[in-house]
Structure 1
Amino acid sequence: MTRKIIRSDKWPLQATAQQRHLMRLTLAEYRAFCRALSIVVLSNWPALCRAPSFAAAVERLIHPTMKNPKPRHHYFTRRFYKFPSYLRRAAIEFVKGQVSSYLTRYGAWLDGDRKCSDARPPAFNPVSGCYPAMYRGQQIKFNEDFTVASLKLWDGREWLWHDVQIKRVRQRHLLGAVKSPALVVNRRCYLSVPVELKPEQLPSTERACAVDIGINTLATASIVSSGGTVVARRFLHPAADIDRRNKRCTLIRGKARKTAKLSKGFCRGMYRKTRHINEQIAQITSRRLVGFALEHGAEVIVLEHLKGWRPKAGTRRSSLRQRFHGWLHRRLADLIEAKFTEAGGRVEYVYAKGTSSWAFDGSGKLKRDPKQYELATFTTGKRYNCDLNASYNIAARYWAWKLKLTRRKDGQLSEDRSSSGKPRIPVTLSTLWQREHEAPYQCAA
């Protein structure tokens, strides 16, 4: 069954100085309408919530019609001349969400849900994140190849159509249906274009791409079949970008050591640059991981469940603590899930504890090298990469759960009914080999 997915693309506009001025006027007019409308909605909130249609009830208060010639609030008719009906309904839905959010937060504050005892009540900002929705056919029109957008803009007297060149678009709009975008005007003007996709589910190939996200190596991936055969392996570590990030982190740490008390906004520019480099690393690595999984026919990507986990290693202001702060385990997992789901695949999470401390061949616990922490020694004397070993065990935990060798994803085998004293050895890659007549040894060092 195909599932609908909505993804938003950013299409920058090549607007002239006059067109940018008109876009700012349009944004100011729309926000003024939302600000005035929020007062009406906030003062009539209980009655509006009881109405069968929220939008229709609000329009009866502000918009004159043949059946409603004298609405209660005449301000909107006098102040907002020929305001488009589609923008009015979009503003109603936006203000409804803003007021609902504010009342929920204010109610929680009254109930004592506060960070500190003297915390101030939440502020109501009706225009936070407020940008006009450009409904297709009514507020915006595209040409056939999506190079020109005709926008209905406010010039201070009338709502008129203006043709604006689109700088560039991605290829996503060719794969799905383009919905009504939003006009975003900040330092630059662009369209936030939602695209509805219906990706076809990937065929079942009995292959999983297991990814271990680490500190020494950013991501280690391996393709493992349901029988325990390792088909492919790859290390992903953009060293040049990581060095650029670490260089700025070192400069920040050096300045912090010379300062007794860090002021608000300390090294703001360096932190901003570091975040941008981290975002670039996550985007590049996630794209390569998804491409690696699709290249080898994997139907699922398996990750460790690390949401909410906080590292405790490293002292305050140490290099190790700073490396953990720049760790991309959550951002990388979110991007992998978003991109692979768009390609028709699935992302599963398994229990993380023990994947790196147990040998994949079932020989027991391993011992890490104190000088080269990414290397490990098995009890048999075998030397192996610890991150690669962890990726094998991650895949094994998924397949053990999928094949019902265990009823849980916590990495433990189910106990036998005949014996309750079965040792609690976690699932490793060797667990899958026991299901086969001949154990595959494609993953030897």
Structure 2
Amino acid sequence: KWEDGGKHGRRPYLNRNQSTMPCFYRNNTFLDSEETNIVSLKLYNGKDWIWETFVVRDCDFMYAYNHMKAWKASAPVLTKRNHRYELRISYEMAGSKFQKYKKDKEVEAVIGVDLGVNTDAVCSVVHKDGTVTGQRFINHPVEKDRMYGLLNAIKKAQQNGNRKTPRLWRLANNYNEAIAVKTAVEIVRFAVESKVNVIVFEHLNMKKKKRGNKQKLSLWRKRDIQHRVEALAVRNGIRVSYICAVNTSRLAFDGSGKVIRGKDAGFNTYELCKFTTGKVYNCDLSASKNIGARFFIRVLLKSLSVKEELLVLAKVPELNRRTSCCLATLINAYAVLC
């Protein structure tokens, strides 16, 4: 194809270093036992194909035995990860399927999720009329304390001349990944308990210059959490949506205007904020309510006719600019329509 197209661009080549081998077909090149953690693979030792026996880790075997005993296992694949080989087996649910999200179903309630650096996630249950019926703070201080302790050890090692600390970095990254996994699980669990249809996130874009603690922002696994929530939400028939992140934390949810944070408000932390009315409130909690409200505002404006939209925009002028909308805007717009 490259030659027929006039040889434009770089000459294509075959990349053989994919670190992935062909799958092992059952009873032909792969043998296992459902009751024991011993598997056999037919491998080439340089002269002949022979059966080699391996022992699966007890934690992996017991997890598959307890949770996926009735599931259908596919043919395993041998993959190379770092300096070791792993046997990867995927499973398919037997006799049941995941719940599917119904597009025609009207959305009654959503969960607005504000991901943060200090607090992992703050969730609020927002209904289409602006009623807030639940909220939850998700944080993992134990993992964070251990990760920051490892980062401090890395810093001291680098000051003493040891520039490469792979073991400490591996441990720190593992704790950081554990925070992302636990946060995603807690978000989906709260969504299932609240019986909502949609989980709403901010569309976070960090391409601009980072301000503040750059190390914390670099280790912030915001997109990893969102991807994990998407994978877990599909299994429960829940949809994931994204809204613009501009002014979600800067505007108060009660419509009083911009908030004051940090030293300007007399606080030593950015977790708290002060409204123009003098009210002190958690900034992430206010942002989560605004996130859920903006989803319904977007759905509301799309469902209106031109005449109805002009009527609502005249009485609620904040709707003319989506980035200036908050929870109070949704309440006022719903009251006008009713």
Same fold (TM over 0.5): yes
Deviation for aligned residue 1:225: 1.8
Partner of 1:329: 222
**Contact 2:210 2:217 (8 Å CA) reproduced:** no
**Contact 2:123 2:136 (8 Å CA) reproduced:** yes
**Contact 1:356 1:390 (8 Å CA) reproduced:** yes
Q: Residue 275 of structure 2 aligns to which amino acid in structure 1? A: F
Deviation for aligned residue 1:165: 5.1
Deviation for aligned residue 1:194: 2.2
Partner of 1:373: 270
Partner of 1:386: 283
Report matched runs for 1:245-394 at 5 Å.
245-256=147-158, 266-314=164-212, 320-370=213-263, 371-394=268-291
Report matched runs for 1:57-68 at 5 Å.
none
Distance 1:368 1:283 in 2: 30
Partner of 1:179: 74
User: Relative to 1, partners in 2 of residues 1:255 and 1:159: Cα closer, same or farther, differing over 3 Å?
Assistant: closer
Distance 1:428 1:108 in 2: 50
More displaced 10-residue stretch of structure 1: 384-393 or 242-251: 242-251
Q: Residue 276 of structure 1 aligns to which amino acid in structure 2? A: N
Instruction: Give every structure 1 segment of 4 or more consecutive aligned residues whose post-TM-superposition deviation is greater than 6 Å.
Output: 414-419
Which residue of 18, 29, 45 maps to 1:139?
Answer: 29
Q: Aligned to 2:42, what secondary structure does the other structure show?
A: strand
Deviation for aligned residue 1:359: 0.8
Matched, 1:201 2:104: no
Partner of 1:216: 118
Distance 1:215 1:311 in 2: 17
Distance 2:72 2:133 in 1: 37
More displaced 10-residue stretch of structure 1: 301-310 or 156-165: 156-165
**TM-score of the superposed pair, with normalisation by structure 2:** 0.77
**Contact 1:400 1:406 (8 Å CA) reproduced:** no
Q: Residue 120 of structure 2 aligns to which amino acid in structure 1? A: L
More strand by share: 2
Distance 2:275 2:246 in 1: 18
Deviation for aligned residue 1:221: 1.2
**Contact 2:42 2:50 (8 Å CA) reproduced:** yes
5+ unaligned residues in a row in structure 2: which ranges?
Answer: none
Q: Residue 181 of structure 1 aligns to which amino acid in structure 2? A: P
**Contact 1:140 1:152 (8 Å CA) reproduced:** yes
Matched, 1:402 2:299: yes
Q: Residue 387 of structure 1 aligns to which amino acid in structure 2? A: D
Distance 2:176 2:199 in 1: 22
Q: Residue 360 of structure 1 aligns to which amino acid in structure 2? A: F
Distance 1:231 1:422 in 2: 27
**Contact 2:23 2:76 (8 Å CA) reproduced:** yes
Which residue of 27, 43, 61 maps to 1:153?
Answer: 43
Q: Aligned to 1:362, what secondary structure does the other structure show?
A: coil
Q: Aligned to 2:17, what secondary structure does the other structure show?
A: coil
> Identity, % of aligned pairs?
32
Q: Residue 179 of structure 1 aligns to which amino acid in structure 2? A: S
Deviation for aligned residue 1:343: 3.0
Deviation for aligned residue 1:145: 6.0
Q: Aligned to 1:132, what secondary structure does the other structure show?
A: strand
Deviation for aligned residue 1:132: 3.0
Matched residue pairs, number?
A: 311
Deviation for aligned residue 1:310: 4.5
Deviation for aligned residue 1:386: 0.3
Deviation for aligned residue 1:251: 3.3
Distance 1:278 1:310 in 2: 23
Distance 2:237 2:313 in 1: 42
Q: Aligned to 1:131, what secondary structure does the other structure show?
A: strand
Larger radius of gyration: 1
Partner of 1:119: none
**Contact 2:122 2:284 (8 Å CA) reproduced:** yes
Q: Aligned to 2:23, what secondary structure does the other structure show?
A: coil
**Contact 1:172 1:195 (8 Å CA) reproduced:** no
Q: Aligned to 1:381, what secondary structure does the other structure show?
A: coil
Q: Residue 246 of structure 2 aligns to which amino acid in structure 1? A: K
User: Relative to 1, partners in 2 of residues 1:172 and 1:219: Cα closer, same or farther, differing over 3 Å?
Assistant: same
Distance 1:173 1:325 in 2: 36
Which residue of 3, 6, 17 maps to 1:127?
Answer: 17
Partner of 1:428: 326
Which residue of 83, 88, 92 maps to 1:192?
Answer: 88
Q: Aligned to 2:255, what secondary structure does the other structure show?
A: coil
Q: Aligned to 1:191, what secondary structure does the other structure show?
A: strand
Distance 1:303 1:160 in 2: 52
Q: Aligned to 1:241, what secondary structure does the other structure show?
A: helix
Distance 1:251 1:292 in 2: 35
Distance 1:341 1:418 in 2: 35
- 1:327-381, CA deviations, whole angstroms, 9 ceiling, x for partnerless residues? 1212211211222223332211111111000111112111114223111111222
Distance 1:385 1:138 in 2: 61
Q: Residue 182 of structure 1 aligns to which amino acid in structure 2? A: V
